[in-house]
Amino acid sequence: MHSHHSHSGSFCQHAAGALEEVVLEAIKKGFKVYGLSEHVPRYRERDLYPEEYNFGVENLSKQFDAYVAEANRLKEAYADKITLLVGAETDFITDLDYSALHSLLDKHGDSVEYLVGSVHHVNELPIDFDRDTWQQCLSSFSAGSADGMDLDEEEPPYTAYLSSYFDSQFTFMERFRPEVIGHFDLCRLYVPLMRLNNPKYHGIWAKVERNIDFAIGYGACFELNAAAFRKGWKDAYPGEDVLKLIISKGGRLCLSDDSHGPAAVGLNFHLLYDYMVRMDVRELWYLERCDERNVAGRKVRAVQYNGDWKEDPFWSQFGPELERGV
């Protein structure tokens, strides 16, 4: 089995354990393909998280360079035991992040093999750090601020917030064509029961559909991200409404644990299995290296899992509690 999204305490201040420990745990758990995807740097002091205040912007860039070197070393060192893909998880805060990412990718060339395209900020504020910061982000959208949206002062400005999130996601896909779309609906982390197809969020479902269509058009994979379970969700990212739409349109689905240390490698994959059975997921995809460059200029491609993914020996470690789809 495979996973495309992971972090380690070696190169992420809010993760734990060494990158090599993450790799060894992935081997122990029986992963055949495992993607390493540390965060790209942020470039303004104001965008640092509390645990990074004493670390600094310059050191974040040096840390990423060290990650690329170590990840490629591990890729070679363990090549006989596991296929490691060296990637990066992205973000968009301001246009500075776009220009800096172009420079970063030019600098590292083929040493960065794929991108997990994620959005963690809206209106330049984090949306997944904690609930209080997310509330500040919501409050940054005044009622009725976005072309008459959210005129009800009793209702938080969800429509303007969601519109900004999905527009940022779309712009990033347009510019960089990430191979994996990271936690597509992270925008509703703290409101997991929110349904994006609710008509009161005027125009939002159309933007969801636009983004899905665009990603499908250039061949991206949408990750089924198990981290949502440890965040208190009953579903993975994306939630049922979005996943149904992706499946109906023939979108490619891949798996991610979004681990932040060896203890989280493969964490809650038994719940992910159950979610996929419940949602009637019939096809899975994963990334592999190839000689030809894809539409983004990187040497990876998505390939379909051969056979019934439910019969993969990987799942046997979780025992009889899995819903076997019978």
SS3 state at 99:
helix
| Per-residue pLDDT reduced to its tens digit, 263-313 | 999 999 999 999 999 999 999 999 999 999 999 999 999 999 999 999 999
Report whether 257 contacts 226 (CB < 8 A).
Answer: yes
Task: Retrieve residue 269's tokens.
Answer: 């994959």
Cα distances (angstroms) measured from residue 326 to each of 1, 214, 313, 322: 21, 35, 17, 11
User: Helix (H) and strand (E) counts for the chain?
Assistant: 9, 13
| Per-residue pLDDT band at 153 (split at 50, 70, 90) | very low
Q: What local confidence, expressed as pLDDT, does residue 146 receive?
A: 43
Q: What is the mean pLDDT of the segment spanning 7-31?
A: 94
CA 252 to chain CA centroid, nearest Å: 14
Q: What local confidence, expressed as pLDDT, does residue 320 receive?
A: 65
Confidence check: pLDDT of 35 > 60: yes
Gap between the Cα atoms of 112 and 35, Å rounded:
11
% of the chain residues with pLDDT over 70? 94
Gap between the Cα atoms of 254 and 180, Å rounded:
8
Pairing of β 121-122 and β 125-126? antiparallel
Task: Retrieve residue 162's tokens.
Answer: 């969601």
Q: What local confidence, expressed as pLDDT, does residue 322 receive?
A: 65
Confidence check: pLDDT of 148 > 90: no
Considering only CA atoms, which of 204, 208, 201, 203 is closest in space to residue 152? Answer: 201
Task: Retrieve residue 325's tokens.
Answer: 């789809």
The 10 Å Cβ neighbour count of residue 180 is 30
The residue to which tokens 């969020």 are assigned? 201
Task: Retrieve residue 323's tokens.
Answer: 């819903």
What residue type is assigned to position 25 of the chain?
Answer: E
Task: Retrieve residue 22's tokens.
Answer: 């993450």
Q: What local confidence, expressed as pLDDT, does residue 321 receive?
A: 61
Considering only CA atoms, which of 262, 224, 260 is closest in space to residue 242? Answer: 224
Query: Average pLDDT over the chain, rounded to whole?
Result: 93
Task: Retrieve residue 239's tokens.
Answer: 């939630």
Confidence check: pLDDT of 24 > 60: yes
Confidence check: pLDDT of 170 > 50: yes
CA angle centred on 121, ends 116 and 122, rounded to 5°? 125
Q: What is the mean pLDDT of the segment spanning 32-60?
A: 92
Phi-psi region of 42 (alpha: psi -120 to 50; beta: other; left: phi over 0): beta
Contacts of 253 (CB under 8 A, 6+ apart): 221, 222, 223, 224, 246, 247, 281, 283, 284, 285
Contacts of 148 (CB under 8 A, 6+ apart): none
What residue type is assigned to position 36 of the chain?
Answer: L
Q: What local confidence, expressed as pLDDT, does residue 156 receive?
A: 79
The 10 Å Cβ neighbour count of residue 54 is 9
Gap between the Cα atoms of 34 and 269, Å rounded:
14
Task: For residue 32, give the DSSP letter.
Answer: S
| Per-residue pLDDT reduced to its tens digit, 254-263 | 999 999 999 9
